[in-house]
Structure 1
Amino acid sequence: MKNTDPILTYLQVTAHTRPFLSACYEKIEHPKADHHAFHNAERFMYGLTMGNDYWTTAERTPLSVQPLLYYYGLNHYLKSLILTVDPGYPATAKVLAHGLSTRKRKKQHYRFLEDDVRIQPHGLFPYAAQHLFSFSSSKEKISMDELLYPLEPMASMYQFKPEKDREIEEKWPPLLAYFAVLYNLSMLVRYEGEWWGEMQQMRDREDYVFIVQFLQAASGQIPVLISDWLKEQFSST
């Protein structure tokens, strides 16, 4: 994996993981910090390892399946992060769902930037938003354009669009924005094979250049954001 932060390797060793998790649980004043650290250590390490494995595989695989690999890699990363603040995760099966949904059948003249995802009351997305970032969106649904526009690596793409300056209505934590966009792209890969294949073959659509730029950004930025989150936890324990 490109530019792997040492903390992602450091915390995949039991001797380091258990005291780290114990300190995380003591910070939230959990009465059984050592107990949960012992039982969660392997799950935590497994999540980081699987996230890394998905990432390195995605970086070597064709564009056609990259969104799936990046999306599931981010799933594993986020579940490890959640374990640092919620030793009982997952308490119910509800929190294991995606937490987002998208339109099952696309419109005839579908455009990716105009597509949106709906936020569900239960699942990984709202759970991570609440427990990792204390974030709750004021919207029931949000477009790809609204999610991509604030991301710093996408700025170069938007400078060529003839549009007026606009204000960001709601600032999402970048990891959540990446999660939502990757979720939608993974759904296109799985259920809109004809559109996805044609988009790659033609390469002359605005969607194509935005998607390629986003996936390149996700490849480099998401591991950094995961590492930064863990280092913040590490420094405060």
Structure 2
Amino acid sequence: MTYHEWKDLALFYSVESTQKFLEKVYTLNGIEDAKKNSFKNSERFIYFLKHAESFYKQASYSPLEIKPILLFYGMAQLIKACLITRDPHYPSHTSILAHGVTTRKRKKQNYCFSDDEVKIQRNGLCMHFMKHLFGQSDIVDERYTMKKLLIAIPELSDTFYFQQKERFMTKIKKDKDRIAVPEDVVINYKMSDSRFAEYMSHHFQWSFERKSKHELLFGISSQDMKPWTSVSLLYDMGKNQYFIPAQKEQFLRLPEMAIHYLVLYNIGMIARYETEWWYELLTQHISDDYVLIQQFLLVTENKFPKYAFQFLLHF
């Protein structure tokens, strides 16, 4: 991210404007002492953003060997900036200062990044921002493989197709608060039209309207209108295209910002503590993992700051 690309987030680099912004956010979200808290947090908010910018700027100039570490800490600073718009007292206790994610013990032989797992802990930054930013608190102890997380990022769809000749998501049409789902999706989900409508309504608050030609039309929830908070729609920022998982088992019920956090945490841990495997991967290109990791880093470096900005604007 160059400074020019960071210019949207740099709009907040004024205590005067940020104080007004935070007061408005706190008021709209029913947080007590909005004026007092906005005064207390305006400088902190700016510092989080500026610290994030420094990490992302250094990452843009850095080699792949250390880029994940810089991107992860930049991401964490952006999350903290978003957090104090919803939790003005963050951090209220030390238990939420940890990352809130663990990785399983790695096997030294035949290790495959795509099969590696992360587990969400009860305490730490991960659960705290999931609860306060996205209203989710029921994912404690959930485990996710890297592949399951990465196939939920639309910009990586072509990479997976090149490597595995399989598509893990299906294009849909979105128009404001309505989407059109191709009938092929319903067939792939092994459901009738009515069962599919019931499933999407129950899990994602979609409202079935009617069937039109070879499509099912739904009204979608306010959360799904915003791709940075959506847990059902997948959004390719470069193509301005929306998708849903090709199979119902591929729904993660995680917003994409959380997916980026979990994947980047794991890559950062590998870069720091699994040096031998990391350098073998980067220098010898021994597996498809190299391309997946490289492509993911390209996507998250550009996409996550933009999602953070959109989150802040659409409070």
Tell me whether the two structures share a fold, i.e. TM-score over 0.5: yes
- What code does the residue aligned with 1:201 have? T
Given that residues 7 and 231 in structure 1 are in contact (C-alpha distance below 8 angstroms), is that contact kept between their aligned partners in structure 2? no
Q: Deviations over 1:47-92 (max 9, x none)?
A: 1111111001001000000000000000000001000011111111
The equivalent of 1:176 in structure 2 is 258
Query: 2:150 pairs with 148, 151, 157, which one?
Result: 148
Q: Which has the higher contact order (CA 8 A, sep 6+)?
A: 1
Distance 1:139 1:120 in 2: 6
TM-score normalized with structure 1 length: 0.93
TM-score normalized with structure 2 length: 0.71
Distance 2:140 2:275 in 1: 32
119-128 vs 132-141, which moves further: 132-141
Shift of 1:5: 5.0
The equivalent of 2:21 in structure 1 is 20
Higher helix share: 1
Secondary structure of the residue that 2:251 maps to in structure 1? coil
From the superposition, tell whether residues 95 and 139 of structure 1 become closer, same or farther in structure 2 (CA, over 3 Å).
Answer: closer
Secondary structure of the residue that 1:68 maps to in structure 2? helix
- Is 1:214 the counterpart of 2:296? The answer is yes
Q: What is the percent sequence identity of the aligned residues?
A: 33
Distance 2:258 2:9 in 1: 20
Shift of 1:138: 7.5
Shift of 1:106: 3.0
Shift of 1:6: 3.8
Given that residues 120 and 140 in structure 2 are in contact (C-alpha distance below 8 angstroms), is that contact kept between their aligned partners in structure 1? no
Distance 2:285 2:129 in 1: 35
Given that residues 4 and 223 in structure 1 are in contact (C-alpha distance below 8 angstroms), is that contact kept between their aligned partners in structure 2? no
Q: List alignment gaps of at least 5 residues for structure 2.
A: 169-245
Secondary structure of the residue that 1:117 maps to in structure 2? strand
- What code does the residue aligned with 1:219 have? E
Q: List alignment gaps of at least 5 residues for structure 1.
A: none
Query: 2:267 pairs with 185, 204, 212, which one?
Result: 185
Given that residues 57 and 69 in structure 1 are in contact (C-alpha distance below 8 angstroms), is that contact kept between their aligned partners in structure 2? yes
Whose radius of gyration is greater, 1 or 2?
Answer: 2
Query: 1:158 pairs with 160, 163, 167, which one?
Result: 160
- What code does the residue aligned with 2:288 have? E
Shift of 1:108: 1.6
Query: 2:279 pairs with 170, 181, 197, which one?
Result: 197
**What is the number of equivalent residue pairs in this alignment?**
233
From the superposition, tell whether residues 158 and 139 of structure 1 become closer, same or farther in structure 2 (CA, over 3 Å).
Answer: farther
Given that residues 44 and 80 in structure 1 are in contact (C-alpha distance below 8 angstroms), is that contact kept between their aligned partners in structure 2? yes
Distance 2:103 2:31 in 1: 37
Distance 2:108 2:123 in 1: 27
Distance 1:27 1:143 in 2: 37
- What code does the residue aligned with 1:19 have? K
Q: Deviations over 1:26-55 (max 9, x none)?
A: 112223111111111111101111111100
The equivalent of 1:117 in structure 2 is 118
The equivalent of 1:4 in structure 2 is 5
Shift of 1:7: 3.4
The equivalent of 2:106 in structure 1 is 105
Shift of 1:130: 1.1
- What code does the residue aligned with 1:112 have? F
- What code does the residue aligned with 1:206 have? D
Distance 1:96 1:139 in 2: 18
Given that residues 271 and 278 in structure 2 are in contact (C-alpha distance below 8 angstroms), is that contact kept between their aligned partners in structure 1? yes
The equivalent of 2:81 in structure 1 is 80
Distance 1:31 1:66 in 2: 40
Distance 1:37 1:56 in 2: 28
Given that residues 157 and 167 in structure 2 are in contact (C-alpha distance below 8 angstroms), is that contact kept between their aligned partners in structure 1? no
